[in-house]
Structure formats: structure tokens, C-alpha cells
Amino acid sequence: MSGTAIVAAMQAYSSIGLREAVYVACPISSGRREFDLMLSLGRFDRAALRAELPVRWRGEVLEPNRADAGGAAARARARHPRSAVVNPAAFDIAGLDQPGYDVLCERIIRDHVTRIVLADGWQYSRGARVEAVLAFGLGLPVEDAVGRPMDHDRVASACAEAETALLGSGVPGHAVPGLLPAFALAAAPAPAAPVG
């Protein structure tokens, strides 16, 4: 089912000729709210939390994150009025699991996006971190929630600060790497030397 849903979604984007879009990388199913819920329960297994407390997770994490993402997308549209803005929090595709959403978002970014906006709280989001790494790997411009350019060092620093904050708030050190992927990207490439 996941493959069929991904193909259908990509066909929809292709059919409208979506090009040069701005993609808002934001917490959706994870993020600071999920960490706060984990801390309140003393439980740091993401899959178990979602399976055992789906109503609470949805009400305290998913729905508020979607609302915030809508606001971030609206602000991005105001800054980039000539571009389509992709809000991945608006995707709700029956039968598509988290790995399927990851594949879909990666394909959208690769095929249709020319700029990434890192919405507030992105550094606590598993998916937004993956999307930031992808953006740098593709050489896409990256900006923060208010439109300031984000270079490799600023993104890496924000990731490190988030990890330090989580450890300081009580998230066990062994749990952090499984919940937040490292900002794994080689140092920013040096500019090419001028020819002749």
C-alpha cells in the first residue's frame, strides 16, 4: 500500500507541474512536544508510546504540531509569494506508514523543491533533521522560520544545542541517538578555486 500511495502522491505533484517549491521542514509526529510527553511519563520508546497511548500522543503531539506547521507554512508563503509552499504536516494518506512518509517527503524535496525552511523546533524533530541533511546534500538554500539563511554550522550548532537541552531535561543519554538522528554531514565544502 505504501508504494501505491507514494506513486499517487508523486503523480499528483507532477501533474500540476510543481517546480521551485519551498518545503517547510517541521515537527509533525515527533519534536519537543513528544519529548515533553516522554519526560512526563518517564518512557523513551517512541513506538511503544504511540502504540500504547495513541489518543494522548495525537492530542498532545501530532495535532498541535500540525497546527504550528500550518502557521509556519503561512509565514513562508508570505515571504515567498511567487513559490508554492509544501506543508508536509498537511499530508494524511491512509495506509502510509512513517517510512513511507519519509520516502514521499524525500522524493518531493528531490524532485520539486528549491528551498527549505526550518520551522521553529525543527531541531527536535527526527524528520526535519533528516530533511535538513538532505537539503545540504542537494545544495538547496536553507532558511530559518523568519527567513534568515542557515548555513551548515548554524544547523549543526542548533542540533547540538537541542541534544544538550534534552539531556539536561532528563532524557537518558542512551535514548537520544535513537530518537534524534545526528546531523551527519561532512563539513561544508570549501568554495571552488577560481580557474585561470
| CATH, residue 84 | 3.40.50.10400
Q: What is the pLDDT of residue 100?
A: 85
Q: What is the pLDDT of residue 192?
A: 45
Q: What is the pLDDT of residue 13?
A: 66
- pTM of the predicted protein model: 0.87
Residue 171: inside a domain: yes
Query: Which stretches in the chain have pLDDT values below 50?
Result: 186-196
Residue 187: inside a domain: no
Residue 73: inside a domain: yes
Residue 52, domain extent? 18-179
Q: What is the pLDDT of residue 146?
A: 96
Q: What pLDDT, in 10s, does the model give residues 147-173? A: 999 999 999 999 999 999 999 999 999
Q: What are phi and psi of 142, to 5 degrees?
A: -125, 135
Q: What is the pLDDT of residue 62?
A: 96
Residue 34: inside a domain: yes
C-alpha grid cell for residue 72? Answer: 509556519
CA distance 184 to 182: 5
Residue 174: inside a domain: yes
C-alpha grid cell for residue 115? Answer: 528551498
- Total domains in the fold of the chain: 1
Residue 186: inside a domain: no
3-class DSSP state for residue 21?
A: strand
Q: What is the pLDDT of residue 97?
A: 82
CA distance 77 to 92: 21
Q: What is the pLDDT of residue 196?
A: 43
How many C-beta atoms lie closer than 10 Å to residue 69's C-beta?
23
Residue 150: inside a domain: yes
